[in-house]
Structure 1
């Protein structure tokens, strides 16, 4: 389980360190920074896929994602006695992301490229520093692997930090290039954990949504990010997952309803039998809310539980009557996996907040910065460049 999440310099997240629990609920008004927090976790996961640089470039480059306010606020600025204005910068420009779980911690520091303006790739940030450590917070004594500039070092069996790369490209992470069963086993373990994180925020339910059409079906223990393999995923839950749990989740939301999968020449099509109807409805006939709930059910009841599932505004298209059942579904999934839910639906917030092991954060903006009140900040150190 992830115990601590840290973000510095990403959009409105100037400097935030949060403890996480088995269920972490993030809520707040529009514009409070919920989406930025979600994107920062997703960006962190993309480091393990070697996609973080491309993702930042797609957002307009590092400059467009950096904290846009001053490096620090004076007391007079906070009291409104002085205008918010920049001062002479003391620290380098950077975007930092990190987390610590029960075994290891990892952090990455991204900065401006040295050849900014002299290359057509000048929107690509550089990886300035990385660190992997054992324990709660990074220190000199517990660092397992570290990267500064082009050099990556790992701790060997004799307790020596040996260089495994001395010319690592500035856009390549040690997570993808130095992870090795022999000299970088801990890096390999952490990389695979991060690759197994799942994110669901674009589960399409429109008329042309992939989930509404028959598709070639194969065993699908993990629902795809766009939900296109819904029928195969639900059939997989029925065959190698908890069929009773699936039936209960559907009945909880739609009393008397059930789902089945029809197969025609290898194409799987989802059918839903609802109380009072003489025939089952095809997925193409389901309402947006019903289809979304089934998609979330397939994601959360996966027979291959993820170490982390992150749901961004899962309440979209759902009738308020479905939010309490969704809260119970999330709680059931959290028995096997850690869940982060980003939501502003009051009914879902209340349904989840009452669950055991749920930690709730209410985000707000103060002078453009995302602020979380009442948080006891965990110990945290960033790697040095």
Structure 2
């Protein structure tokens, strides 16, 4: 389970360190930074996929994603005595992401390229530093692997830090290139954990949504990000997952309803039988809210539980009556999976907040910066360049 999440210099997240729990709820007004927090977690996961640089480029490059305010706020700026204005920068420009779980911690520092203006790729950020450590906070004594510039070192069995790469490309992470069963086992373990994180924010329910049409199916223990393999995912739960939990989740939201999947020449199609109707409805006939609930059910009852699932505004298209069943579904999933929920829905957040092992954060903006009140901030150190 992830214990601490840290973000620095990403959009409105100037310097944020949050303790997480089995269920972490993130809420707040529009523009408070919820989407930025969600995207920062996703960007961290993309480091393990080797896609972080491309993802930042798609957002407009590092310059577009960096904190746009001053490096620090003076006391007089905060009180309104003087206007907010830039000051002489003391530290380098950087975007930093990190987390610590029960075993290890990892952090990455991305900065501006040294050859800015001399290459057609000068908008690409560079990886300046990385660190993997044992325990909750980085220190010199517990660092297992580290990267500064082009050099990556790992701690060997004799307690020596040996270089495993001395010319690592500025756009390559040690997560993807130095993870090795022999010399970088901890890196390999952490990389695979991060690759197993799941994000659901684009579960389409519109008229042309992939989930509405028959589709070639194979065993699908993990629902795809767009939900196009919904029928196969639900059938997989029925065959090798928790069939009872699936039936209870559907009956909880739609009393007396049930689902079944048919196969025609390899194409899987979902049908739903509802009380009072003389025939089952195809997925193409279901309402947006009904289809979204089924998509979330398939995601949360996966026969292959993820170490982390992040849901971004799962309440979209749902009738208020479905929020409590959804909360119960999330609570059931949290028995095996850590869940982060970013939501506007007060009923959903309120129901989940009553559960043990749940922490709630309400984001707000102060002088353009996302801030949050936390009872006790965990200790955190960033790797040095």
Q: Do Structure 1 and Structure 2 share a fold, with TM-score over 0.5?
A: yes
Conservation of the 8 A alpha-carbon contact between 2:361 and 2:374: no
Conservation of the 8 A alpha-carbon contact between 1:251 and 1:257: yes
**What is the match of residue 142 of structure 2?**
142
> Which aligned pairs between 1:161-240 and structure 2 lie closer than 5 A?
161-240=161-240
- 1:86 to 2:82 alignment: no
For 1:280-306, what per-residue CA distance to the aligned partner results, in whole angstroms no more than 9, with x for missing partners? 000000000000000000000000000
- Give the secondary-structure state (helix, strand or coil) at the position aligned to 2:227: coil
TM-score (norm: length of structure 1): 1.00
- 1:282 to 2:277 alignment: no
> Which aligned pairs between 1:1-385 and structure 2 lie closer than 5 A?
1-385=1-385
Structure 1 residue runs without a partner (length 5+): none
Conservation of the 8 A alpha-carbon contact between 1:26 and 1:342: yes
- Give the secondary-structure state (helix, strand or coil) at the position aligned to 2:49: coil
In structure 1, distance between residues paired with 2:164 and 2:77: 47
TM-superposed deviation, 1:356 = 1.6
TM-superposed deviation, 1:261 = 0.1
In structure 2, distance between residues paired with 1:123 and 1:207: 38
In structure 1, distance between residues paired with 2:170 and 2:374: 38
TM-superposed deviation, 1:84 = 0.2
For 1:157-189, what per-residue CA distance to the aligned partner results, in whole angstroms no more than 9, with x for missing partners? 100000000000000000000000000000000
C-alpha change, 1:123 and 1:375, in structure 2 (3 Å) is farther
- Give the secondary-structure state (helix, strand or coil) at the position aligned to 2:124: coil
In structure 2, distance between residues paired with 1:340 and 1:158: 39
Alignment size in residue pairs: 385
In structure 1, distance between residues paired with 2:45 and 2:59: 16
TM-superposed deviation, 1:117 = 1.3
TM-superposed deviation, 1:374 = 3.4
Conservation of the 8 A alpha-carbon contact between 1:18 and 1:375: no
- Give the secondary-structure state (helix, strand or coil) at the position aligned to 1:236: helix
TM-superposed deviation, 1:118 = 1.3
Structure 2 residue runs without a partner (length 5+): none
C-alpha change, 1:15 and 1:375, in structure 2 (3 Å) is farther
In structure 2, distance between residues paired with 1:370 and 1:345: 20
TM-superposed deviation, 1:375 = 3.6
* Structure 1 vs Structure 2 CA RMSD: 0.5
